A and B are shown apart, each in its own frame.
Chain A
Amino acid sequence: MTEPVLEVRNLSITYTVGAGEFPAVTNISLKLYPGKVVGIVGETGCGKSTLAKAIPRLLPEPPATIGGGQIIFRGTDLVKVTKRQLPMVRGTGIGMIFQEPLNSLNPAYRVFDQVAESIRIRHYRDMGYVKTFQGGEVPFDYSKRPTATVSSSLTKPFVPDGAVGEVVRDRLRTRSDYRKEVLEYLRLVRINDPETILDLFPHELSGGMRQRIMIAMALSERPAVLIADEPTSALDVTIQAQVLTLMKELIDEVQTAILFISHDLGVIAETADFVGVMYAGQIVEYGPVAEVFHSPRHPYTKALLRAAPNRYKSEGQLSAMAGSVPNLSRLPSGCRFHPRCPLVRPACKAKLPTLDPVDPSNPDPEARVHASACFFQSEVPSLP
């Protein structure tokens, strides 16, 4: 496999709030590869959104502190990057799309202005008008310079021109220049007749449309990494399906690495290549999505899958998990899931388990990635 675009190593995040300290994220490690989707699934409050926001350092730093770990992007540890330099990483380096309540697009500006702004930022960086982020070692192939048209350049993540050592000055583009590109990106996200929506305000658009525009805005900066924080959770099921189809098609066209956060198992199953199951701030199981969902090796994953209502069966009780998600300020000792686990033993209360490979001798390199944070993972398949 190729080099990871972004790597998270042993990241821990703590919230310090008047009433105490909450370890929101404990010791998470991830690797994101171009063109691959890594899904993070978990219940509300498990820390997945915190993780998503922590990577581009979007968390407000006073209450949240990054306790330890690294986020390696383009050879630099983002944890150590200063606040001043952060805007340079974002946009063309890391992009993010959010859940869709009313306020994902700026209500005061028209659609054209907002999408054109993203394109303009990328253009300025392209032409060297503004500084862009230079990493330590830059592990990409710079022999090819980005070309002017949208479709052909989408095959590569954005590469700053400055790295090549030349700066090409161009005339400042006018509004009509941007118009062409804005329309192209809007068509890219499958909006028919984008001319009609250019002058509209966000409150005049439907939820699905707003979501597509947000995707268009993020993609127009051609980021190397795209973080999707529950992008379909607030949409109707039908719109959700459309947006997911769109994203899957885009993944084929664009080689951006995607981190997809969701609480919906079905969405992750459809979209992700790899999945990490989070519980109480930890990743308790990780692996190729088919493996993890068909043969889970962690009691929590298994229970989660079983708890999802089966749409083909209309009788029988819903199976729910006993107990509830632990209070982060009063975590159980050892394994955080042990109070609710059917396989609980004394060893579980003593030590916090870390991710252990399930089948290290598997010939398939992707299957070797499958790991579970349970001491007794081999017994999980025998659970009901």
Chain B
Amino acid sequence: MGRNPSDLLIFIGKRLLQLIPVLVGVIVLTFFFTHLDLTNVCNEWYPHAGASTIHNCELTVNQPLANQFVQYFVNLLHGNWGTDVYGAAVYPQIAAALPATLELVLAALFLMVVIGIPLGVIAAQFSGRWADHLVRVFYLSGWATPTYLGAVIAAVFLGPLLGLPSGGEFSTKAVPFSQYTHMSVIDAMLAGSLPYTADAISHLILPAVVLAFINMGIATRMTRASMLEVLPLDYVRSARMKGLSEFWVLYKHALRNALITTTTVLGITAGGLLSGTVVVEEVFLWPGIGQYAYVSIGGGGSVPNFAGAIAVVIIFAIAVVAANLIADILYGVLDPRVDWR
């Protein structure tokens, strides 16, 4: 009926195609931001660069806008994303930093799903009573906490209290194994070192918890609303009448349907998590894109790095688009009414 496993590839392919105009739009928008209002485009993109790079750049500046755009696009594809204020190429720095942020965000997502969704179920189950109010207060206070405040409180007070570290990925500056994936836990596991894996995990906990706490609200909120919509429906009553315990009725029958709408907020969640990494990574000295963004944009008094800032904007936009794609696909998989053809 249009939902065979082989059809799934068609479905994903269609969604990918819809991605492309948005991605193009993102690139065009960043192009506008970076090429229109600057008097000295080339120096902005390649400060401290060699004379030949500047010369090549200046050749393109005097060309019509369309050619400039093509050149810009080609540069991006080739990995030429400009240089930072010390002359180092931006792209390799981003490539090394991205997996670390990915690890952090995935850990936070995991916590949000494992804690946030059951909380939403509880809030719906006891809607209007004190458990509901408690859950609300919990996630609203998470949402009301500015990221930096939460990060600072966690790093400075909670960390020592719970004995969790809050500086970087490992306890030592350098690690005795090579980093293939740049994701601390994975690298430690690949190197087969148990103490380093434990070390990596302990360093991951606090920043992930801060990110999760602040962004949990939307998942819990959405789960609660969907559950409230689903619980009065007849098939939930049927499930109860079959003799299933309340737990199974809620999690196997009701939640399975309520989750469908929860996936639609995955894109917004991603946006919030990524924004949050900017501050969280800075406070926890986590070597990811967020920290790179913080430094590039001139946070904390550092020298702003134009090319780096633009690179970060592009990466984050791509990430949000990718998250929306995943949400779309998940929705298509979870809702049996969606035809994959």
Contacts and interface: CB of A to CB of B under 8 A. Distances in A.
**Are A and B co-members of a single complex?**
yes
Interface of A: 53, 56, 58, 62, 83, 87-96, 98-99, 101, 103-109, 117-118, 121, 125, 200-201, 203-204, 214, 217-218, 221
A256 to B, nearest CB: 14
Contacts of A87: 240, 243-246
Interface string B84-110: 000000000000000000000000000
A98 B234 contact: yes
Nearest to B257: A108
A121 B233 contact: no
Contact of B256 (A96, A108, A203): A108
Nearest to B259: A108
B242 A107 contact: no
Given A200-B1, A204-B1, A106 B237 contact: no
A214 B238 contact: yes
Contacts of B335: 108
A79 to B, nearest CB: 17
Contacts of A93: 243
Contacts of A88: 243
Which 9 residue pairs are nearest across A and B when measured between Cβ atoms? A91-B243, A103-B233, A106-B235, A96-B241, A90-B243, A201-B336, A104-B234, A98-B234, A108-B256
Nearest to B241: A96
Contact of B235 (A94, A105, A125): A105
A221 B242 CA distance: 8
Contacts of B244: 87, 91, 117, 121
A91 B242 CA distance: 4
B334 interface: yes
Interface residues of B, number: 24
B239 interface: yes
21 contacts: A58-B241, A88-B243, A90-B242, A91-B241, A91-B242, A91-B244, A96-B237, A99-B234, A104-B234, A105-B238, A106-B239, A106-B253, A107-B235, A107-B337, A109-B256, A118-B242, A121-B242, A121-B244, A125-B243, A201-B1, A221-B242
Nearest to A203: B337
Given A107-B336, A200-B1, A92 B238 contact: no
A194 B258 CA distance: 29
B235 A104 contact: yes
Nearest to A98: B234
A108 B334 contact: yes
A96 B243 CA distance: 11
A200 B1 CA distance: 8
A204 B257 CA distance: 17
B330 to A, nearest CB: 13
Contacts, number: 80
Interface string B303-331: 00000000000000000000000000000
Contacts of B242: 90-91, 117-118, 121, 217, 221
Contacts of A92: 243
Contacts of A201: 1, 336-337
Given A106-B257, A203-B337, A204-B1, A217 B243 contact: no
A94 B243 CA distance: 9
Contacts of B233: 103
Interface in B222-269: 233-235, 237-246, 253, 256-257, 260
B238 A217 contact: yes
A220 to B, nearest CB: 9
A103 B254 CA distance: 12
A94 B128 CA distance: 30
A88 B243 CA distance: 6
Given A89-B243, A93-B243, A121-B242, 6 more contacts: A87-B243, A87-B245, A99-B234, A117-B244, A201-B336, A217-B238
A103 B235 contact: yes
Contacts of A108: 256-257, 260, 334-336
A112 B263 CA distance: 26
Contacts of A101: 234
Interface string B116-154: 000000000000110000000000000000000000000
Contacts of B129: 62
Nearest to B230: A103
Contacts of B337: 107, 201, 203
Contacts of A204: 1
Contacts of B235: 103-107
Contacts of B240: 58, 87, 90
Contacts of B238: 96, 98, 104-106, 214, 217
A103 B234 contact: yes
A346 B235 CA distance: 48
Contacts of A104: 234-235, 238
Given A107-B235, A204-B1, A90 B257 contact: no
A97 to B, nearest CB: 8
A107 B258 CA distance: 11
B237 A58 contact: yes
A353 B108 CA distance: 66
Interface string B37-62: 00000000000000000000000000
B234 A121 contact: no
A230 to B, nearest CB: 11
Contacts of B234: 98-99, 101, 103-104
A104 B253 CA distance: 12
Nearest to B129: A62
Nearest to A96: B241
B284 to A, nearest CB: 40
A91 B241 CA distance: 6
A214 B244 CA distance: 16
B336 A203 contact: yes
Nearest to B128: A62
A221 B244 CA distance: 12
Contacts of A99: 234
Contacts of A218: 241
A56 B1 contact: no
Nearest to A83: B246
